[in-house]
Homo-oligomer: A and B are copies of this chain.
Amino acid sequence: MKSKKVAIIGASGYSGEVLVQLLLNHPHAELVAVTSRQNAGQTLAQVFPKFASHPKSKSLRFSDPKAELLSKQADVVFLALPHGVAAEYAVPLLNAGCVVIDLSADFRLKSPEIYKDFYAHDHPAPDLLKRAVYGLPEIYRDEIKKSLLIASPGCYPTSILLPVIPLLKAGLVKPAGIIADSLSGVSGAGRKAEVDYLFCECNESVRPYGVPKHRHLSEIEEQLSFAAGAKVTIQFTPHLIPVNRGILTTLYLAPEKPTDAEKISACYKKAYDGEPFVRLLEGKALPDTKNVVGTNVCEIAWRLDPRTGRLIVMSAEDNLVKGASGQAVQSMNILCGWPETAGLV
């Protein structure tokens, strides 16, 4: 299988670090460049002691991010940058013929209007929104194969879309009134020097935030609307919990018929039975982040409540793997024609 050269722009944050780990050990991708303004000049081993045993860790040095140079070094470029910055790099890289896999929110929406509503400024490259494919492989596998610009989904959106899209597509739940209550580990906030994310501020603490209008709502609702064939507005409450990694989402849905247990079961089996990274739990098992952390797997379980007529769906994923870097690698594998599970567990 033909290998490719890959680069990571913005490799010093938490999702950048996981990308480095996955790409250092990938059977077909060769990591040739990592960038970071603040760590420029340092080796991988210096910035991430945990990779110091890897043979490349002492030769590979962080550089300043320069699109022109990177486009000559790499076939595939991952952008692990803050929202708003990614677009600056995507344009020249695409023009130079690179595949771009963006982990930021910059290209996740189709609608520039929704972008403006949630991000409070015009989209910097609205033309690219049409070219970008939303990198959720279980839903857009065929489109990913043919795209050169992948907008890899957010962590919360992944934990919500995977459980809900099949039900909406099958018409088994009502598009109105969906509630997503999510719990995220602290790495979701990024490696930022802010008092709010200090150990003593997060440990022995649980708190909601961004209530009621979190930015991730824009991509969640756009994707759910596509699935439902109608505009979907949901309730979404994120909470910060004292774990490093992991998202647990509990969804409250209204089934079209509260007695449709068999149809729901069949719908999920049809959607995910062959999927390597979606695990439908059976029997009494319920999702637990500790069973997915470090893997690219999203666990899903559901219960129909005969007392309320509601459908409760629960999902668990690693926010930095299936919710970010693992999923981005999964898209790369598809796009490059490699086995979808290459370099992933």
Contacts and interface: CB of A to CB of B under 8 A. Distances in A.
A291 B50 CA distance: 4
A14 B203 CA distance: 14
Interface string A283-298: 0011111111111010
A211 interface: yes
Contacts of A294: 294
Interface string A10-27: 000010000000000100
B290 A204 contact: yes
Contacts of A250: 181, 208, 237, 239
Contacts of A290: 50, 201, 204-205, 207
Contact of A242 (B207, B234, B242, B293): B242
Interface stretch (A76-84, A143-151, A190-198): A190-198
Contacts of A191: 195, 198, 200-201
A203 B242 contact: yes
Given A191-B198, A207-B248, A289-B206, A52 B279 contact: yes
A187 to B, nearest CB: 5
Taken together, the copies of this chain in the complex come to 4
A308 interface: yes
A285 B45 CA distance: 11
B237 A203 contact: no
B193 A194 contact: yes
B308 A53 contact: no
Contacts of A202: 199
B235 A312 contact: yes
Interface in A236-274: 237, 239, 241-246, 248, 250, 252
A48 to B, nearest CB: 8
A63 to B, nearest CB: 21
Contacts of A183: 183, 206, 239, 241
A281 interface: yes
A186 interface: yes
Contacts of A285: 49
A189 B288 CA distance: 17
A179 interface: yes
| Residue with the greatest number of chain B CB neighbours at <10 A, chosen from A185, A194, A204, A297 | A204
A209 B289 contact: no
A337 interface: no
A237 B303 CA distance: 11
Given A183-B241, A198-B199, A307-B233, A50 B205 contact: no
B206 A199 contact: no
Contact of A307 (B212, B244, B310): B212
**Which are the 7 A-B pairs with shortest beta-carbon distances?**
A212-B305, A205-B290, A50-B291, A207-B288, A199-B202, A186-B199, A181-B181
Given A203-B244, A239-B250, 13 more contacts: A50-B291, A181-B181, A199-B201, A203-B242, A203-B243, A206-B243, A207-B286, A208-B287, A211-B312, A234-B308, A235-B308, A241-B242, A242-B242
